[in-house]
Amino acid sequence: MFKKYLPLAAVSVLFGCAQPTDRAQQYVDDEFNAILNKTAVVESNKPRDFTEFHRQADQVVENSPSMAKIYQPLYDQLNEWVLQSGEPTDLASFGIQAAQLGGGDKQGNVLFTGYFSPVMELRHEPNEKFKYPVYAKPECESDCPTRAQIYAGALEGQGLELGYAANRIDPFLMEVQGSGFVHFEDDDTLEYFAYGGKNNKAYISIGKVLIERDLVPRAKMSMKAIKQWVMENDEATVRELLEQNPSFVFFEPRADAPVTGSAGIPLLPMASVAGDRSILPMGTPILAEVPLLNPDGSWSGAHQLRLLIVLDTGGAVKQNHLDLYHGMGPRAGTEAGHYKHFGRVWKLGLEGSATQAPWALPPEKLQ
């Protein structure tokens, strides 16, 4: 994905005799010994919503002949299953194979976080309010400047400014997401800023820094909490915090472009996820019990069974962690920021095709 990620995506450690359920954890499976576990029959009684799957699958087929060659037979069978049954226990009768993710706790609980496409207000030319530049990538590789050096003016005079923001946190949060839409308030135009590269410095989570400094409680950490803290502090304090993360993401303007992930496929809200491509290659469909949240971010007590496609990835998304795409704008951002919850997940494949045996891993992943 280019990407991005707030530390709030860190996997919770589950331990002790009491098994926590406040983040939608479930304990209905035996302990798993592998990342992917062959599943003869998928059993889930959760309410189902498969309405967006065919649209997201069509985007893959229309935009990537190479992925279509691998996954279209599986997508077609899944669409038949949805139309004729939709019952998880019937998957095998359609030739669809499944492998359940073991979860970070080895009890099937896979972490769901969320991301979105922000809309950032910019101006083409700076003024007293809009004075913080957003940059295209300079000609550099390992010798790129750090965030602190960029804030100090290391890129000035190179003609890399794409626009100017009214604060530092909005561009920073767009960096975390990896891309987003920009509204230029001086001429009322809308552009899509795609991921344009990074400075190849280590990523340090400012959420983690805020927790370690006892500035935001771990239990309340979210994107909303970070922005609230930023808005309550002066410019110098905010800059010092942001500079703790030396990594810096650059952007590339694309007029009227759809939101795409690292697979280059347009993303649909609640139909695509970012995942670990060593386990879930781009284009992989998954069946997931997605946790449903209340407006305040607490778990509603329910899950919803969805078909999702892995079309993005990111440095913080490893193994039993999925990042669910929520869409564009502030509301999507609020909803995505609440997600730090768990659900059960099955990787799907089609017998007799390139996707068969979804439980198989490369030899180096079997350790």
Residue 4 pLDDT: 42
E strands of 231-333, at which residues?
Answer: 249-254, 272-274, 285-293, 299-312, 321-328
Q: In the predicted model, is pLDDT for residue 2 greater than 60? A: no
Q: What does the pLDDT average to over 269-278?
A: 95
Burial of 202 (0-12, 13-18, 19+ CB in 10 A): exposed
Cα dist. 39→51, 123, 273, 286, 364 in Å?
24, 53, 22, 13, 22
Q: What does the pLDDT average to over 98-114?
A: 95
Banded pLDDT at 97 (limits 50, 70, 90)? very high
**Superfamily (CATH H level) for 7-13+20-115+260-365:** RlpA-like domain (2.40.40.10)
Q: In the predicted model, is pLDDT for residue 56 greater than 50? A: yes
Segment 314-345, tens digit of pLDDT: 777 889 999 999 998 788 888 888 899 999 99
Domain spans in the chain, listed from the N-terminal domain onward: 7-13+20-115+260-365, 118-254
Sheet holding 132-135, edge to edge: 132-135, 161-165, 119-123, 180-184, 189-198, 249-254
254 or 159: which leads in pLDDT:
159
Q: What does the pLDDT average to over 29-36?
A: 92
Residue 5 pLDDT: 41
Segment 77-91, tens digit of pLDDT: 999 999 999 999 999
Segment 7-19, tens digit of pLDDT: 433 344 344 456 8
Q: What does the pLDDT average to over 114-143?
A: 92
Residue 253 pLDDT: 92
Fold of 118-254: Ribosomal Protein L25; Chain P (2.40.240)
The region of weakest confidence among 21-35, 38-52, 76-90, 248-262 is: 248-262
Q: For residues 358 and 189, give the distance between their C-alpha atoms in angstroms, rounded to a whole number.
A: 45
Q: In the predicted model, is pLDDT for residue 142 greater than 90? A: no
Cβ contacts of residue 346 below 8 Å, gap of 6+? 39, 42, 98, 99, 100, 101, 286, 287, 288
The model's pTM: 0.74
Banded pLDDT at 53 (limits 50, 70, 90)? very high
Q: In the predicted model, is pLDDT for residue 180 greater than 90? A: no
Q: What does the pLDDT average to over 113-127?
A: 91
Residue 18 pLDDT: 66
Segment 204-250, tens digit of pLDDT: 999 999 999 999 998 888 878 898 899 899 999 999 999 999 999 99
Banded pLDDT at 362 (limits 50, 70, 90)? low
Residue 256 pLDDT: 67
Mean pLDDT of the chain: 90
Q: In the predicted model, is pLDDT for residue 3 greater than 50? A: no
Q: What does the pLDDT average to over 283-301?
A: 95
Residue 220 pLDDT: 84
